[in-house]
Amino acid sequence: MAGNAAVMEDGSLISRLDRKLLQLEQVFALLSGLAVFSLMLLAVVSVGGRNAFNAPLPGYVDWIEQAMPLIAFMGIAYVQRDGSHIRMDIVVGALRGRALWLFELISVLLMLVLMLALVWGSWSHFEGSFDFAAPLWSRDSSIDISLPIWPAKLLAPVAFSVLCLRLMLQAWGYGRALVQGLDTPPAVPLIQDAAKQAAAEAEQLVGHDNDALNGQG
């Protein structure tokens, strides 16, 4: 399973790049969240229209299909940065020092190879759908209201490319920790034990309480 993780920050080049990439990942994650919220609104409009006026929203399924890549792909780099993807910590949790960094480095490199292949494959699907000479630049469209499909297909290679950047940055971070024998390297997720998780949550709650008191004052 996945555990809570902290990402150390300092003044090093890799940490500065990590924070820059995080800004892009946060934008993508926000777009993913807005897509989920938009689908909720569309569901309300469609169900309300069907029950009240016997007229559901036209192309509801088509819009869902268009939003699926936003929901499924746009937040994966942000989650990878925090180490929140589902993973098995039974073996990893028992490793320390260079053995841990070596294991993490190998895992990240394997993921990077897979994601590069997915970028290539998803870009090929986008190229097969996009055509400047076609109406709406699209060679194919949705079934109900004929929405062009190429925007949804473009989201996959874009999101996967950002994830590749994150994986390359983490491979650099783990490799740097492996060579230098670092205990808390920057720009990589450091899995916290239960005690550290509890302390971090308590500190966050205290911070919120202080902010509330300052606001009342």
Beta bridge partners of 191: 5
- Crossing angle of the two packed helices 13-53 and 150-180, in degrees rounded to 10: 150
205 domain residue, yes or no: no
Domain count, the chain: 1
Reported as a pLDDT band with limits 50, 70 and 90, residue 97 is confident
50 occurs within a structural domain: yes
**Nearest CA among 112, 115, 94, 84 for reference residue 171:** 112
Q: What pLDDT digit, counting tens, does each position of 22-71 carry?
A: 999 999 999 999 999 988 888 888 888 777 777 777 888 888 888 888 99
Averaged pLDDT for residues 80-97: 75
Domain of residue 99, residue span: 5-198
Beta partners for residue 189, in sequence order: 7
* Domain assignment of residue 157, yes or no: yes
pLDDT tens digit sequence for 128-179: 888 888 888 888 888 888 889 999 999 999 999 999 999 999 999 999 999 9
Residue whose C-alpha is closest to residue 15's, from 192, 200, 190, 188: 188
Q: How far is residue 212's CA from residue 214's CA, in Å, rounded to a whole number?
A: 5
| Whole-number pLDDT of residue 84 | 75
Which residues make beta-bridge pairs with 110? none
Q: Does the CA dihedral 38-40-45-46 come out positive or negative?
A: positive
pTM > 0.85: no
